[in-house]
């Protein structure tokens, strides 16, 4: 966790933050359950081939079933067909009882390997289901364990798991025919406990101790792109974290769908930078892994020039003060539902024009939706062109049920249960808090859960039993007030983490703003770990007790100077806004600003190896945002005008979702960059929290840090 010099009075500990409410997707059968082996279709001079495997049902009764893999395959297939122009006949789907060892081997050979015609062809392999480990029989693993995925008939009739060595044999054979390979794994090979009564499930089963494995030799050793020239790997969890699913979808797959649906073209590097905040927003401590040719385009797509969008089917003109209404339709998209907001553009627009708010005809707010069509009201600025059939509707903010943080209380009578009288007080405080309107929803089984410890303290936990906050024993009304404040902060964090900039042709998220965490030039004796400076816009590991600040550079290609500010968000729900004193920092293109005011410097304290997030925003000069105010409420700009980002935050944080906004002020482009940070425990240190780094404990003498620069350390 990163702490400012001023800390809140609430005692807070441990991992990752609030959860995102994933749309519930009922388990459903696919349109087909096997591979089509008709001749593959060519698109843009290349074959695009995909093998999608999802397993949630198993012959072995000792393996826990999963609800999400079939849904994940369904939705990933839809993404490929509608967004990346994979022909239907080129996509092989194997789920549940169809995803046996024999069927998977056959699909690798006949649906992929036999069909590749040239080095230009593209191959995607996607797996959703349980992962595990087994003993390494050929000595190629340093830890003595092979990573595995669990197929429908694994661990029955003498069959093993599908081990990484065998996967690598297939990858090697595919790589010999085309270098354009992508492997996506929504599973994990290490386990951590998910909350017992939660709807969250982990995609992990215990290792097969001494179980049978079939090793065919070969010189592949790991699922690693280092062995294959064109392989890109996207994995749901690493660093000992577990991949989770919720409400019938994998949280990693959900994040990928969100990212890949709303952008026309992305590199793997851009995807890697956008995954952490979405997983953090989903309440999972899992840390994803992306490796390979990071500058190549996802699925080697170079022709896609628009996000997956909906189109206007009909326009119902309003009368008098009634707003215009439209009927819109399109492929299933994450986040389409009541009060979702879509920008309407001329049907001839594409590319960056669909992210330029100044070129939008209006803003549509969904009233009703079936998942593939919806009705919406539209607010248009004066002088905007009329809406017509065929106009494009681009999702910019998801629906209420996609954003609301769900919260529950452990019932009285269960371990950690909350007595009925206290539960009533807590529920009343939450439901009557106007600032939480639309942000937090009480549930029987929420993403965050409150329990009572033996000392009478309220403990707020995440889906992996990770403690987020501890509220000391106090009068029920006092505990309720503190809980409402904490929940509101967690819910706000998740909203920020789900934001995407609207840069149009002017700016690019994760590129226009270059962000680094920089150590102060002196340090206490407790700051004993070595500092290794991460490149801009990359995860920064911070040794314990280091004092740091945020450095922001505006790219020289930016057409405008930018007002720069942002938020530091810790896993306990804390939000620190900067600039902290309300000043405005206008940074010209090609220039750098260091946020080093007293309340903007950050001290690295426990918990360790938990991802916190820093988000930096850039807005145009006429639309300022006072970032230091956002821990309380969103206020209007200096001159009373309201810009695009300001209206977005106001609708989310002040309970105005779904209200037709007055289209006043200036709609201007804006951008953002988000980077994860993690604290590493100092050598020989013991967990001590914020007290561990105080000068009176560490000693007053300071040490100078020299020689710092990109890629260097002290």
Q: What percent of the chain is helix, strand and coil (3-state, nearest 5)?
A: 20, 25, 50
Residue in 176, 155, 182 with CA at minimum distance from that of residue 63: 155
Q: How confident is the model at residue 698 (pLDDT cuts 50, 70, 90)?
A: confident
Sorted by sequence, the CB contacts under 8 Å of residue 157 that are 6+ apart come out as: none
Domains of the chain are: 42-287 (3.40.50.1460), 310-399 (2.40.30), 404-497 (3.40.50), 499-704 (no CATH)
CB 148 within 8 A of CB 134: yes
Give the model's pLDDT for residue 644: 59
423 φ/ψ sector (left φ>0, alpha ψ -120 to 50, else beta): alpha
* From 380-394, 481-495, 675-689, the region with the lowest mean pLDDT: 675-689
Which segments of 335-404 are extended strands (E)?
Answer: 341-345, 362-369, 373-379, 392-397
Rounded CA gap, 577 and 606, in Å? 20
Distance (Å) of CA 420 to CA 411, 412, 416, 475? 8, 7, 13, 15
Q: Which of 646, 607, 327 is nearest to 462 (CA)?
A: 607
The C-alpha atoms of residue 51 and residue 103 are separated, in whole angstroms, by 11
d(CA 376, CA 341): 9
Rounded to whole angstroms, the Cα distance separating 431 from 443 reads 12
CA neighbor of 567 nearest in space, from 555, 554, 583, 550 = 550
Is residue 98 within 8 A of residue 88, CB to CB? The reply is no
| Interatomic CA distance for residues 333 and 78, integer angstroms | 9
Distance, CA of 122 to chain centre: 26
Q: How far is CA 4 from CA 151, 601, 664, in A?
A: 48, 6, 36
Sign (positive or negative) of CA dihedral 503, 508, 514, 516? positive
Residue 214 CA, chain-centre distance (Å), reads 36
CA distances from 123 to 52, 79, 128, 231 (A): 11, 15, 17, 10
pLDDT of 662 higher than 60:
no
Token readout for 266 is 């992305």
- Evaluate if residue 478 carries a pLDDT over 90: yes
CB-CB contact of 18 with 497 (8 Å) = no
pLDDT tens digit sequence for 162-219? 888 888 889 999 999 999 999 999 987 654 444 344 556 776 777 765 544 333 333 3
d(CA 492, CA 501) in angstroms, rounded, equals 17
Q: What gap in Å lies between CA 679 and CA 166, rounded to an integer? A: 36
Q: Are 402 and 441 in contact (CB under 8 A)?
A: no
CA-to-CA separations, 377 to 295, 656, 659, in angstroms, rounded:
40, 15, 10
Q: Is the pLDDT of residue 17 over 70?
A: no
| Six-digit token string for 500 | 């995407």
Residue 355 has pLDDT above 90, yes or no: no
Structure tokens at 556: 């020289």
pLDDT of residue 159: 86
Q: What would the pLDDT profile of 378-436 be if each residue is shown by its tens digit?
A: 988 888 899 999 999 988 888 877 767 888 999 999 999 999 999 999 999 888 877 67
pLDDT digits 0-9 by tens, 535-575:
999 999 999 889 999 999 999 999 999 999 999 988 888 88
Q: 552-583: buried (b, 16+ CB within 10 Å) or exposed (e) per residue?
A: bbbbeebebbbbbbbbbbbbbbbbbbbbbeee
> In the prediction, which pLDDT does 647 show?
56
Q: How far apart are the first and last CA of the chain?
A: 22
Counts of helices then strands in the chain (DSSP H, E): 10, 37
Mean residue pLDDT of the chain comes to: 79
Q: What is the pLDDT of residue 430?
A: 86
Query: By CB neighbour count within 10 A (0-12 exposed, 13-18 middle, 19+ buried), where does 486 fall?
Result: buried
Cβ proximity of 432 and 471 under 8 Å? no
* Cis status of the peptide bond prior to 603, with omega within 30 of 0: no
The pLDDT confidence band at residue 592, using thresholds 50, 70 and 90, is very high
Backbone φ and ψ for 313, nearest 5 degrees, come out as -90, -35
Strand order, beta sheet including 458-461: 440-442, 405-409, 448-452, 458-461, 467-471
């Amino acid at each position: 966790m990163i702490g400012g010099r001023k800390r809140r009075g609430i005692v807070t500990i441990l991992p990752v933050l609030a959860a995102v409410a994933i749309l519930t997707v009922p388990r459903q059968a696919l349109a087909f359950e096997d591979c089509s082996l008709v001749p593959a279709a060519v698109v843009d001079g290349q074959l695009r081939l995909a093998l999608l495997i999802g397993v949630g049902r198993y012959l072995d009764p000792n393996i826990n079933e999963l609800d999400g893999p079939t849904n994940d395959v369904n939705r990933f297939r839809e993404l490929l067909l509608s967004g990346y122009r994979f022909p239907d006949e080129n996509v092989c789907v194997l789920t549940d009882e169809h995803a046996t060892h024999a069927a998977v081997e056959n699909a690798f050979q006949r649906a992929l390997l036999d069909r590749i015609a040239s080095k230009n062809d593209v191959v995607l392999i996607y797996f959703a289901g349980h992962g595990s480990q087994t003993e390494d029989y050929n000595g190629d693993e340093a830890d003595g364990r092979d990573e595995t995925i669990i197929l429908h008939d694994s661990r029955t009739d003498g069959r093993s798991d599908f081990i990484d060595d065998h996967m690598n044999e297939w990858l090697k054979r595919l790589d010999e025919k085309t270098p354009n390979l992508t492997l996506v794994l929504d599973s994990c090979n290490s386990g951590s406990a998910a909350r017992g009564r939660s709807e969250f499930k982990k995609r992990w089963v215990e290792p097969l101790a001494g179980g049978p494995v079939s090793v065919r030799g070969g010189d592949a050793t790991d699922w690693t792109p280092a062995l294959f020239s064109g392989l890109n790997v996207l994995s749901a969890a690493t660093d000992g974290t577990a991949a989770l699913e919720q409400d019938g979808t994998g949280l990693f797959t959900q994040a990928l769908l969100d990212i890949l649906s709303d952008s026309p073209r992305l590199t793997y590097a851009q995807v890697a930078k956008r995954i952490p905040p979405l997983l953090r927003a989903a309440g999972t401590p899992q840390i994803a892994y992306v490796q390979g040719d990071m500058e190549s385009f996802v699925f080697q797509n170079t022709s896609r020039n628009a996000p997956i969008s909906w189109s206007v089917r009909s326009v119902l003109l309003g009368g008098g003060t009634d707003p215009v209404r439209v009927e819109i339709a399109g492929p299933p998209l994450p986040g389409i539902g009541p009060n979702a907001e879509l920008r309407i553009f001329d049907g001839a627009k594409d590319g960056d024009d669909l992210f330029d708010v100044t070129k939008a005809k209006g803003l549509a707010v969904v009233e009703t939706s079936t998942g593939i069509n919806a009705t919406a009201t539209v607010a248009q600025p004066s002088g905007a062109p009329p809406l017509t059939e065929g106009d494009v509707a681009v999702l910019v903010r998801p629906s209420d049920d996609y954003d609301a943080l769900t919260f529950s209380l452990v019932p009285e009578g269960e371990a950690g249960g909350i007595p009925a009288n206290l539960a009533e007080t807590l529920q009343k405080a939450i439901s009557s808090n106007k600032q939480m309107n639309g942000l937090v929803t009480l549930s029987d089984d929420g993403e965050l859960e409150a329990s009572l410890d033996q000392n009478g303290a309220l403990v707020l936990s995440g889906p992996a039993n990770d403690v987020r906050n501890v509220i000391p024993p106090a009068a029920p009304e006092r505990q309720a007030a503190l809980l409402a404040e904490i929940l509101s902060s967690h819910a706000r964090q998740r909203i920020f983490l789900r934001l995407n900039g609207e840069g149009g042709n002017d700016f690019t998220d994760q590129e226009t703003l270059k962000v680094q965490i920089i150590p102060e030039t002196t340090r206490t004796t407790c700051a004993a770990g070595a500092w290794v400076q991460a490149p801009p816009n990359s995860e920064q590991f911070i040794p314990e007790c280091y004092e740091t600040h945020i450095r922001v550079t505006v790219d020289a290609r930016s057409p405008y100077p930018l007002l720069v500010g942002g938020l530091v968000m810790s896993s306990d729900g804390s939000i620190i806004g900067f600039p902290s004193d309300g000043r405005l920092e206008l940074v010209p293109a090609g220039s750098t600003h260091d946020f080093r005011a007293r309340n903007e410097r950050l001290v690295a304290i426990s918990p360790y190896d938990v991802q916190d997030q820093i988000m930096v925003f850039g807005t145009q000069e006429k639309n300022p945002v006072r970032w230091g105010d956002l821990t309380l409420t969103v206020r209007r700009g200096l001159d009373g005008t309201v810009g695009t980002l300001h209206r977005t935050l106001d609708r989310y944080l002040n309970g105005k979702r779904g209200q037709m906004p007055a289209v006043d002020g200036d709609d201007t482009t804006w951008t953002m960059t988000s980077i994860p940070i993690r604290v590493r425990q100092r050598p020989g240190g013991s967990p001590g929290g914020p007290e561990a780094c105080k000068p009176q404990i560490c000693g007053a003498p300071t040490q100078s840090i020299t020689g710092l620069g990109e890629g260097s350390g002290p």
